[in-house]
Amino acid sequence: PFSNLASVNPRFPLQRTVAMAPKGSKRASQGAAADVNKKPKLNSMMVGVVDALGQATDLPQDCLAMLEAGVPGCLGPPANERHQLQSSMVTWIGETIESVEARLRQAVDDEAAKVATVKLAFEEAERVVSDAKGNLEAKGDVVATTKAANNEAAQAVKSAKAGLTDAQVAQTRGDASLAEAGKLIEEYGGALKDHVDYLKKEEDSFDANIAKTHTNQVMRIAKKLGLDDSLMTALPSACTTKPSQRGTFDKMVISELEGSFQSKVAALTEEMNTGAEATAQRAAAVTANEQVVQAAEDAQKDAEAALAAAQAAQGEAAAGLREAEKGSKAKAAGQAAAEELKKKAEWVLESFIGYNVLCFSSLRDKVSKPEGATSQTLASSASPAAATSTAPPAAISASPPAGSEAL
């Protein structure tokens, strides 16, 4: 069949029929073998077609080799001069290139889908970051509020302790005056009982020397009463004189002395009775202030615990924000990488269509000019109008686009 193909189309690569060399003609045999094994040269567009076929990774290597071998013989002749078998081969080559183009388009669609997915993931990560920022801001507000409450609680404790100190000072001073009054009652009452009563004893048991001792004690205590000087001057004589020998003045001195002690004891007793209520009030004030201090300290502890909890929550919110920002950054990097892969896939597809597919379609669709067309073209080109209206055909690059070696 290949001999028939060659006879129908002289452009078919098997157009040469190698004659059998006579026996013994070794050199002729070697020359014939060299002609058969010699590969036809590929022009620049055929190189683009072969490169496109090389990207059909889903075909067996033998099939690819067959298609690549048929490129010069099947795409070299014009379309209107091809044999049916050549046209079939061109169709197979076209279908293979279309499958590569479809795969590259699918790759673009796949990368676009990935971009859409990572974009949604990035938007979700940004939403998480926004929520984390809002949460951190809210926690910061709680910290500010609890810190203010803690400061107020500390000030309340300080004020409560100051009030307790004032109450304790008032209690100490008030109780001290009553304690002094109690001591004076004991002292004056003792003076009446132990000394003045002796000075009033009957004559049988009265002793001048003993009376003098009692008089000295009375004089010492009487000075605290603020008695009249004349009375104080008369006391020693009156007190040491026997009761039966005392005159009216001496009796009056003894009576005045006794009355002064009794009046002082009565006054101090009244003061003690009156001061008992004040003492109770001062004690109650101290107790109340102690309770205020305790309540303020409890409130301060609660405020400190609330502040610590708020600060811990703020720290957790800050950590959450950092983690969210880290995740968003990773998603942004993933989106950028996906978009870069999509751009690369688009560039590969565009390069494939703009170079490989164009090379194939140009070779596939070229036709030979009919006889006489050349002379007509030359004649028409002589006309200035034709010269100005005829544009040169679009040129196809003789080499693949820059970077296509990475395809």
Average pLDDT, the chain: 81
What pLDDT shows up at residue 390? 35
Q: Is 277 helix (H, G, I), strand (E, B) or coil?
A: helix
Token reading at 99: 């499958």
Q: What is the DSSP letter of 267?
A: H
3-state helix, strand, coil in the chain (%, to 5): 85, 0, 15
Q: What is the DSSP letter of 399?
A: S
Q: Is 292 helix (H, G, I), strand (E, B) or coil?
A: helix
Token reading at 70: 């048929």
Would you call 170 exposed, middle or buried from its count of C-beta atoms within 10 A (0-12, 13-18, 19+)? middle
CA quadruple 317, 318, 321, 326: dihedral positive or negative?
negative
Q: What is the rounded distance in angstroms from the CA atom of residue 42 to the CA atom of residue 139?
A: 74
Residue 222 has pLDDT above 70, yes or no: yes
E-strand ranges in 126-200 read none
Total residue count of the chain as it appears in this document: 407
pLDDT in tens, 187-211: 878 888 778 777 776 666 777 778 7
Residue 372 backbone phi and psi in degrees, to 5: 90, -10
Q: What is the rounded distance in angstroms from the CA atom of residue 45 to the CA atom of residue 357?
A: 10
Residue 336 has pLDDT above 70, yes or no: yes
pLDDT in tens, 139-198: 999 999 999 999 999 999 999 999 999 998 988 887 787 787 888 888 878 888 778 777
Q: What is the rounded distance in angstroms from the CA atom of residue 83 to the CA atom of residue 174?
A: 134
Nearest to 395 by CA among 42, 75, 44: 44
pLDDT in tens, 84-142: 999 999 999 999 999 999 999 999 999 999 999 999 999 999 999 999 999 999 999 99
Q: What is the rounded distance in angstroms from the CA atom of residue 185 to the CA atom of residue 181?
A: 6
What pLDDT shows up at residue 31? 53
Q: What is the DSSP letter of 202?
A: -
Residue 397 has pLDDT above 70, yes or no: no
Greater pLDDT, 27 or 335? 335
What pLDDT shows up at residue 23? 52
What pLDDT shows up at residue 39? 66
Residue 386 has pLDDT above 60, yes or no: no
What pLDDT shows up at residue 139? 92
Token reading at 198: 């002796």
Token reading at 142: 């709680």
Position 254 confidence tier, pLDDT thresholds 50, 70, 90: confident
What pLDDT shows up at residue 148? 95
Token reading at 398: 């003789």
Residue 7 has pLDDT above 50, yes or no: no
